[in-house]
Structure 1
Amino acid sequence: MDDDALLIDRQPLPDGVPARLGEQLRFLAEADKLKTVLRASLLAAADRRENDAEHSWHLALMVILLAEYADQPIDVGHAIKLVVVHDLVEIYAGDSPVFVPGAADDQAEREMAAAERLFGLLPGDQAASMRALWDEFEAAVTPEARFCKAMDRLEPMLLNWLNGGGTWEMPGATEALVRAREAGVVAGSTSLGALTGLLVDEGLRRGWIRP
């Protein structure tokens, strides 16, 4: 199958499906590809890498449980939408591991092109609303987006802790880069930022992070 082909093209919908529903199902079928996009982070419960769909689910659960630690009150339902949508563009753009030198050099351009392509599969009104969610997450201006960005930083840190170092031990990882990720948590939650500070300090003490 050509890389540009849609998953729905492998098994086209039967005749008679209404046009709007067909477009929605086309997008939902394509979203299945998110389950194949591997991240650098290792799972804590199994000896394999986390995929983007698992990551997005974990962020949604974190938003539900940890919203009380947001520095500003947030709309939990809206925040869940943000974390569910935020990595969909990686279906086409791929993951950009922070500790791999050069991996993020053209990330913004790749993801912008992916957003145009992916959300364009939907009916016009839903394409606009999904794109608006993705743009909001990326801009990190609203309280919800800032908190969701914080969860996006905290989740891999938690996995690294549970794995006794995880991606902190990658060749490109440095204390400065790890601290920069920690700052992303602080931006949405000072109390959870304090938690990540403890994790990083202890990771340094244990030799999981290079000073």
Structure 2
Amino acid sequence: YAAESHRRAAAAWNEGRFADEVVPVPVVQPRGGETVFERDEGVRPGTTAEKLAGLRVIAKDGTVTAGNAAQQNDAAAACLVVAEDRLEALGLDPAAFLVGWSAVGCDPSRMGIGPVPAIAKVQRKTGLSLDQMDLVEINEAFAVQVLACMRAMHWERHDILNVNGSGLSLGHPIGATGVRIMTTLLHELKRRGGHYGLESMCIGGGQGMAAVFERA
């Protein structure tokens, strides 16, 4: 799973799929001058399952290694949340409409499973099922965490899940990941001409969140 995340992220970069959502940032160098930072550093195109299998596990009898855990990056993301009746007055064209969202608590020791009850709750609130989603994002805190969520939901649509990579390859900038995922989701939804997209993530203290968006 981790190797595939890197493959997808590398392909997305090479095909220009991130071009419209990334803002280049000039970085002043210690000896003068600037370097324009405009591409994720953590994507490793040459990653293979065989290479990852050789990495040491972090905990005895565990499965998590440096290669199948999310990278923690410095990053920022931004969006505008606007009341629908104010769009025309402000001269704005929406990217999508927020159909519904959810936040749930779970056992902190199993925080990675948080997306499962969060997705179930947002499905009840919106009346929409996973089968109606064109794209799904479950933040990749750990490879095993995403796979555990998929197993718990009895859902195996790898073809529409994290299609441009996620935390394992693109990174997990704490505090910005939610909007980062939403940004990528909505751009890809537009590119594919899809209708509904679902975003979800686990939260370290023992929570899960999910949101459903409808492309405008």
Using structure 2 for the length normalisation, give the TM-score.
0.24
Q: 1 or 2, which has the higher helix percentage?
A: 1
Larger RCO (CA under 8 A, 6+ residues apart): 2
Using structure 1 for the length normalisation, give the TM-score.
0.25
